[in-house]
Amino acid sequence: MKIEEASVILITIAIVAAMLSFMLAPGEKQMTIGFEVVAPVVQAVPVYRNIAPVATFSVLSNPCGAPCTVHLNASGSYDPDGSIVRYEWDFGDGVRQSANRNWINHPFTRDRMYQVTLIVVDNRGATSRPYSQRVIIQNQRPTACFTYNEFQRYSDGFSLVELDASCSSDDVGIVWYSWTFPGCPPTIPTTKSWRTMTVQRGKLYYVDLTVCDNKGFQDTTEAGYVYVP
Ligand SMILES: [Ca+2]
Ligand SMILES: [Ca+2]
């Protein structure tokens, strides 16, 4: 029975008792009916409402082609009234992983678009809404680049020059390098990123470099040259 209902019953009984007492004739045996209505004590009990956490993440080291390990940073996730204790990842490639740190690295093995989803769990067990983002794994074209420096100076006006292609880049890796010198067909592709050439000092040589990545994508420098004064 609720406190309000009990109070109403007690008050009703008190009123009926008062009426009975009033109706008794003088001289008759006095009947005393006493009631003590005690006000119910209502104690305030604080009720805590846990606010759900919010999930978010950013994608670093992307775009890249497979095989590619992507760094996912969830440090922007938060819990307004507590803390995040768990990060539940779904990488969209059939792999799910639970972590207690706010970042993760995941290797993707095929070129395609993946829908990556994160749910975070707070210190009182509440879960966030899922947060999703696309991760596109796609081969990136390599970039051909080279530098040169005079390696040895001869007395007959010629110099030995070292060509260095280590400034070339690719998302996965360059598998061969090929050089084109004036009046010559491209050199046989090699895995070496450097080679030498002999030049006459004061003469301009147009030299280009072609690089190729693991997917067969190529890039060639434009208007490359070597000049030793
Ligand atoms: Ca919370
Ligand atoms: Ca590539």
Q: Which ligand is nearest to the CA of 120?
A: 1
The pLDDT value given to residue 36? 58
Q: Which ligand is nearest to the CA of 53?
A: 1
The pLDDT value given to residue 163? 97
The pLDDT value given to residue 37? 55
User: Domains in the chain and their CATH numbers?
Assistant: 1-45 (no CATH), 58-137 (2.60.40.10), 147-227 (2.60.40)
The pLDDT value given to residue 12? 54
Q: Which ligand is nearest to the CA of 123?
A: 1
114 Cα: distance to centroid of ligand 1 (angstroms): 29
Residue 29 — very low, low, confident or very high, per pLDDT cuts 50/70/90? very low
Highest mean pLDDT among 13-27, 47-61, 87-101: 87-101
Q: Which residues pair with 136 in a beta bridge?
A: 113
The candidate with the shortest Cα–Cα distance to 130, out of 52, 51, 50, is 52
171 Cα: distance to centroid of ligand 2 (angstroms): 5
Q: Which ligand is nearest to the CA of 172?
A: 2
96 Cα: distance to centroid of ligand 1 (angstroms): 23
Q: Which ligand is nearest to the CA of 212?
A: 2
Average pLDDT over residues 131-137: 95
176 Cα: distance to centroid of ligand 2 (angstroms): 12
Comparing 36 with 172, the larger pLDDT belongs to 172
CA–CA dist 8, 118 (Å, integer): 55
160 Cα: distance to centroid of ligand 1 (angstroms): 69
66 Cα: distance to centroid of ligand 2 (angstroms): 9
Express each pLDDT in 135-194 by its tens digit. 999 999 999 999 999 999 999 999 999 999 999 999 889 999 999 998 889 999 999 999
Q: Which ligand is nearest to the CA of 218?
A: 2
